[in-house]
Structure 1
Amino acid sequence: MIRRCLDNEFDTIYEIINDGAKAYKGVIPDDRWHEPYMSRSELQQQIKEGVDFWGFDENGTLCGVMGIQQMGDVTLIRHAYVCTSEQRRGIGGQLLKLLREQSDKPFLIGMWMEATWAIKFYEKHGFQQIPKDRISDLLEKYWSIPKRQVETSTVLADDKWFKTEKRDNNRL
């Protein structure tokens, strides 16, 4: 069952994120990797800034989480992780489907450009990579991340974003 995460599940969300993020070790730039991948204070700040976590609950146990954040004219998918022991069961796809039903706005997803498995996952679910000349602008507009992370990240968007972008460009 997919449901909104509860305030008292903070520690579980923290554990799932850091378990799932182990896949980044040795893949993302060494200067961006640290343990834990996401600190408790960073997670608290993300929640304070409006990241709303949803979870995949199996018999009372959360085994996957995905955040959604409203950012003006777009909706961001944030911090999507599934416990390593539960991956490849369709949990991420189910979470993504439900979260996409939560907003009528275009969706954007930022991620490490070296996380090719994550890029393929989102492409399988209808997202496309943003043209390279737009990535930095979007990351700086919608995410609060260090410059080095901007340099090593990419952004994917849904069809709605591309249609809006095309319509806006035709007006110029």
Structure 2
Amino acid sequence: MGDSSSPIIALAGTETPVILDIINAAAKRYEGIVPRDCYHEPYMSGDELVREMASMIFYGFVENREIVGVAGFQPVADVTLIRHAYVLPGYQRKGIGSRFMEHLKALTKTRSLLVGTWAAAYWAVDFYRKYGFNLLPDKDELLARYWRISPRQIETSVVLGMELE
């Protein structure tokens, strides 16, 4: 699995349990932060992940032959979405997120790269802003157009975007 020169690999359905474990472990940080009616355990079910995997490519970050971070990549119409980007808690703040950002930007064929996150997840908003994303004022319209999420999640989320050349 991966090597030191290319630690980011495309993941297949066989890695579904690992992807799910990473998402659910990292999303525990949302407990008590996002609205109570939006947080549940597990954060993502296996069925939900399988549905999500049908519409996007997941990439994994490999360290010591183990996947320690994941990010979904989803071209939709005229934009590309970063979805479900998570790093295991013990591996956070070690540059994995920045490596994902560079990798996903390089893969993007559209002019716009968008990411949605919980408005209350200030650390995620700060992370994306650090890498050149800006909060977009038309987030309700964008979330309704490009994501398939509930009205409550639209209400409690933000969208950040960047234009690529």
TM-score scaled by length of structure 1: 0.89
Amino acid aligned to 1:90 = G
Amino acid aligned to 2:151 = K
- Structure 2: stretches of 5+ with no match in the other structure: 1-6
CA contact (8 A) 1:129 1:157 kept: yes
Equivalent residue number for residue 168 of structure 1:
none
Matched, 1:142 2:146: yes
Matched, 1:66 2:92: no
Which of 90, 94, 97 pairs up with 1:92?
97
Amino acid aligned to 2:102 = K
SS in 1 for 2:109: coil
SS in 2 for 1:27: coil
| Offset, 1:51 | 1.6
Trace 1:1-172 onto structure 2 (pairs within 5 A): 1-48=7-54, 50-105=55-110, 106-131=112-137, 134-160=138-164
| Offset, 1:65 | 0.4
Rg larger in 1 or in 2? 1
SS in 2 for 1:157: strand
Q: Distance in 2 between matches of 1:100 and 1:123?
A: 14
Is 9-18 or 51-60 further displaced after alignment? 51-60
TM-score scaled by length of structure 2: 0.93
Deviations 1:14-64 (A, max 9, x none): 00000010110000000000000001000000011x121001101210000
| Offset, 1:6 | 2.6
**How many residues are matched?**
158
